[in-house]
Amino acid sequence: MASSNRLRKTALICGIGGQDGGYLAAHLLRLGYRVVGTSRDAQGSHFEGLVRLGIRDRVRVETMSLVDFRSTMHVISRTRPDEIYNLAGQSSVSLSFDQPAETLRSIVTGTLNVLESIRMLDAPIRFYNAGSSEMFGDTVAAPASENAVLRPRSPYGIAKATAFWQVAQYRMSYGIDACTGILFNHESPLRPERFVTQKIVAAACRIAAGEQHTLALGDLSVRRDWGWAPEYVVAMHKMLQSDAVEDYVIATGVTNSLEDFVSEAFAAVGLEWREHVKSDPRLKRPSEISCSRADVSRAEAQLGWRARFTMRDVAHLMVEARLARAELPLRRAA
């Protein structure tokens, strides 16, 4: 048994309590990994995502503050992971405008502390860093590839761009097997309602049930590439299995407007969205990205990864999951 445990890979997931952390943990467990997750307060956290996925009792959790180097170093040296996935840090673009300093600190300092820990331990640890399409800013002219110029337009995007260059520098200067997955928008039933997609899905279901009458949103013309989170974590893992660890853009390659997403979510419960949705200028961001487009050719060619679900699938899957949890029937559009 001891020999078997030594051959088993260990993955450390920083920020396991979030959407991606839960799905990644489930995926790695299916592959036979020993999974350790971190949270700022492991004892006080409920890890609802892990519970909903039925894997809470199969994951060891540790308290770790990524912005505290000693805490980060201690957990990494004690758990001795083969792979580290950094999914922690402030994750809301909207909130980053209200908390720019905390956003920068949680993402940039946290990423640096993991990289420095790996360097000082001099261990053969492979490191995945969660990037974001927000690093690119507007991509109206052409879909963004791994070599696109970074023009972030939010504190969140700026922090992710800084962490991206930190990872690249440690890979080039210190030979650390580290990469950034530049993930475009990806959603699931585990999304909290502070994210606009879940806000829309929740409102559509409540309106259909007579519990709510209207939904206020910001700019409905913004365009995004929405994918299915359980698929995207597969790409994360694939990125660390390559002989040469590199950065990749992960997306569906299909862009839709927020209005399109709203239409699909309301249609899934048999409603005409125009009768219930209104635009509120106060909900618009200070510097909104009008269009987000992705070039996914490199991931397809080198990782063999391609998204199966696009925006319409995502909207319907999220509605079906929410209705199933509430034990409500799904009303089909005529």
Please classify residue 291 by burial: count the beta carbons closer than 10 Å to its beta carbon, then call 0-12 exposed, 13-18 middle and 19+ buried. middle
DSSP secondary structure, 185-208, as one string:
-EE-TT--TTSHHHHHHHHHHHHH
Strand ranges inside 4-99, DSSP E: 10-14, 34-39, 60-63, 83-86
| Residues forming a β-bridge with 109 | none
Spatial distance between the Cα atoms of 241 and 139, rounded to a whole number of angstroms: 29
Rg (CA), the chain: 20
Sequence-separated contacts (24+) of 312-317 with Cβ below 8 Å: 312/264, 313/228, 314/187, 314/197, 314/226, 314/227, 314/228, 315/197, 315/201, 315/226, 315/261, 315/264, 315/265, 315/268, 316/264, 316/268, 317/188, 317/189, 317/228
132 is known as an active-site residue? yes
| Amino acid found at 321 | A
Q: Taking Cα atoms as reference points, which of 313, 168, 320, 311 lies closest to residue 247?
A: 168
**Residue 286 in 3-state DSSP?**
coil
What token pair was written down for 303? 């990782």
Spatial distance between the Cα atoms of 288 and 285, rounded to a whole number of angstroms: 5
Q: Which of 134, 187, 231, 264 is catalytic?
A: 134
Q: Which of 91, 117, 132, 292 is catalytic?
A: 132
Q: Which of 23, 156, 170, 232 is catalytic?
A: 156
Q: Say if CB 312 and CB 197 are below 8 A apart.
A: no
- Catalytic residue numbers read 132, 134, 156
